[in-house]
């Protein structure tokens, strides 16, 4: 074996910070190869994909709109992943939150209810997501079932249930048989921040969440117990932290934030209930969490990077007729590159010398 990995004892901070950028650069190289293979000029494609969206005010707003759910879900996932609990079902919790919140919007539809509706929807959205997130937590704690697989299976269940509702009981009777609910009343809609465009109040909530999560994870005993439980479970038990409580806690938080993202999206940019309310935010947020190194501020940055891949993907779909799957390829490559870059920063690949192989 001519190469070997050596753990570096002193990882320079610069290296830790540099790794995500190295990963981004690698992803762009792979992307260029992909564009070439598809017969596009990579420079032109990159301009449409990554540069143009940054140049106009409307798409900049869209960038924030797309980053908002990624940020909320990603911060929640950071709680889980720090505790070494692999919630990969955020997409389902997002749907569950959207469902419970929308229920209130539809129940109060046309009743002239006051401005309490939207805040109550947010609370319900968070509760719905948390409750749905607690299912895999319960199954793990009580029965030892892998939370990875159960949380993912529940995504399909939630999506099918949502599909059933908007095609059945929740369908707008005056909607020409389209599978969607009535448009939410203004009191059940996220307030817009600017006169033009779709920028809504969700980003303010997301930024508050970032600040709160930074504080909880970094300064409190709860944050410490999460970190310890993920890093050394036996030491956490020795320290007296209950593994079950940590598991419930992180799933509740990440479910709640995913649910919050769901109801904000439905009551904001979408405006009513539809069969499909997410272009895979729950999965992309996993990448956002990893790229942001499980730190809320890092996730703030990474959410925008990933939002750009969505916007760019839409632009490329229109002007280059590229399938939207290009975005998934970018996202998958990016996650692979981050994982590799992380290792390469922490370890050093070294040629093994000095021994002749007999």
Partner 1 sequence: MSGKAATSDSAASGALPPPLLEAIGLTKRFGALVANDHVSLAIRAGETHALLGENGAGKSTLVKMMCGLLQADSGELRFAGEPVVFPDPAASRARGIGVVFQHFALFDALTVVENVALGLAAPGKLPALAARIEDCVHRYGLEVEPYRRVGELSVGERQRVEIVRCLLGDPRVLILDEPTSVLTPDESESLFRTVDLLTAEGRAVLFISHKLDEVRRLCQRATVLRGGKFIAEVDPRRESSASLARLMVGAEVPRTPRVTTHELGEPRLLIKNLTLKGDGSRGSALHAINLEIRAGEIVGIAGVAGNGQTALFEALSGERLGEDAEAIVIDRTPAGALGPTARRALKAGFVPEERLGHAAAPDMRLSDNVLLTTHGDGRIVRQGIVRHSVLNAMFAEIVRRFDVRFGGKDPKARRLSGGNLQKFVIGREVLREPVLLVVDQPTWGVDAAAAGFIRTTLRQKAAEGCAVLVISQDLDELLEFTDRIAVMSEGRLTQPVPVEETSREAIGLAMGGAHGAPAQEDADAA
Partner 2 sequence: MLDTVMIGAVLASVVAAATTLLIASLGELVAERAGTLNLGVEGMMIIGAAVGYATAYSSGSLLLGTLAAVLAGVALSLVFAVLTVWLAANQVASGLATTILGLGLAGLIGSPFVGTRIDAAPELLVPGLTDLPIIGKAVFGQDAFVYASVALLVLVTWGLARTRTGLVIRAVGESHVAAHALGHPVRRIRTLAVMFGGACAGLAGAQLSLAYTPFWASDMTAGRGWIALALVVFSAWKPLWLLAGAYLFGAVSILQLHVQGFGLGIPSQLLSSLPYLATVAALVLISALKRGQGAPASLGVPFVPDR
Q: Which stretch binds partner 1 (CB under 8 A): 124-132, 199-207, 236-244, 245-253?
A: 236-244
Residues 73, 282: Cα–Cα separation, whole Å:
7
Does position 235 bind partner 1 by CB under 8 A? yes
* Closest C-alpha among 73, 59, 56 to residue 265: 73
Give least dist CB 12 to partner 2, A.
19
Residues 255, 259: Cα–Cα separation, whole Å:
6
Q: Kindly tell me which of 122 and 134 has the beta carbon lying closer to partner 2.
A: 134
Per CB under 8 A, the list member of 204, 235, 325, 348 interacting with partner 2 is: 325
> Is residue 258 within 8 Å of residue 93, measured between CB atoms?
yes
Q: What's the distance, Cα to Cα, between the start and end of the chain in Å?
A: 13
Chain centroid to CA 91:
8
Cβ-based neighbours of 43, under 8 Å, separated by 6 or more: none
Q: State the binding string over 66-105 for partner 2 (x if CB under 8 A, else -).
A: --------------------x-x-----------------
Chain centroid to CA 108:
30
Q: State the binding string over 5-44 for partner 1 (x if CB under 8 A, else -).
A: -x--xx----------------------------------
Per CB under 8 A, the list member of 160, 208, 211, 239 interacting with partner 2 is: 160
Burial class of 235 by CB neighbour count within 10 A (0 to 12, 13 to 18, 19+): exposed
Both tokens assigned to 45: 């494609």
Residue for token pair 């290009």 = 326
Does position 319 bind partner 1 by CB under 8 A? no
Does position 161 bind partner 2 by CB under 8 A? yes
Give least dist CB 33 to partner 2, A.
12
Query: Considering CB distances under 5 to 8 angstroms, the limit depending on partner class, which of partner 2, partner 1, none binds residue 181?
Result: none
Which positions lie near partner 1, rule CB under 8 A?
6, 9-10, 219-222, 224, 227-228, 231-232, 234-240, 242, 352, 354-358
């Amino acid at each position: 074996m001519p190469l070997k990995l050596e753990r570096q004892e002193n990882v320079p901070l610069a290296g830790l910070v540099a790794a995500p950028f190295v990963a981004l650069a690698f992803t762009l190289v792979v992307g260029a190869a992909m564009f070439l293979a598809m017969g596009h000029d990579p420079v032109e494609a990159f301009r449409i994909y990554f540069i143009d969206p940054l140049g106009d005010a409307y798409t900049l707003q869209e960038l924030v709109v797309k980053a908002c759910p990624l940020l909320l879900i990603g911060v929640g996932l950071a709680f889980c992943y720090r505790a070494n609990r692999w919630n990969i079902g955020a997409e389902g919790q997002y749907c569950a939150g959207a469902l419970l919140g929308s229920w209130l919007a539809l129940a109060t539809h046309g009743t002239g209810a006051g401005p309490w509706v939207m805040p109550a929807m947010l609370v319900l959205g968070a509760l719905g997501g948390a409750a749905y997130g607690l299912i895999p937590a319960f199954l793990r704690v009580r029965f030892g079932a892998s939370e990875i697989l159960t949380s993912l299976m529940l995504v399909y269940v939630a999506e099918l249930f949502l599909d059933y509702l908007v095609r059945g009981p929740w369908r707008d009777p005056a909607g020409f048989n389209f599978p969607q609910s009535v448009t939410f009343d203004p009191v059940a809609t996220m307030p817009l921040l600017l006169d033009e465009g779709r920028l809504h109040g969700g980003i303010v909530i997301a930024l508050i969440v970032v600040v709160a999560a930074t504080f909880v994870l970094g300064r409190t005993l709860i944050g410490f117990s999460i970190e310890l439980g993920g890093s050394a479970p036996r030491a956490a038990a020795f320290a007296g932290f209950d593994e079950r409580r940590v598991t419930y806690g992180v799933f509740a938080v990440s479910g709640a934030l995913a649910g919050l993202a769901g109801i904000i999206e439905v009551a904001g940019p979408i405006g009513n209930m539809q069969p499909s309310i997410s272009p895979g935010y729950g999965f992309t947020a996993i990448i956002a969490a990893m790229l942001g190194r499980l730190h809320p501020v890092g996730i703030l940055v990474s959410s925008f990077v990933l939002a750009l891949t969505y916007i760019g993907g839409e632009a490329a779909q229109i002007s280059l007729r590229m399938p939207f799957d290009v975005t998934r390829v970018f996202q998958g490559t990016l996650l692979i590159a981050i994982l590799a870059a992380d290792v390469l920063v922490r370890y050093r690949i070294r040629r093994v010398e000095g021994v002749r192989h007999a």
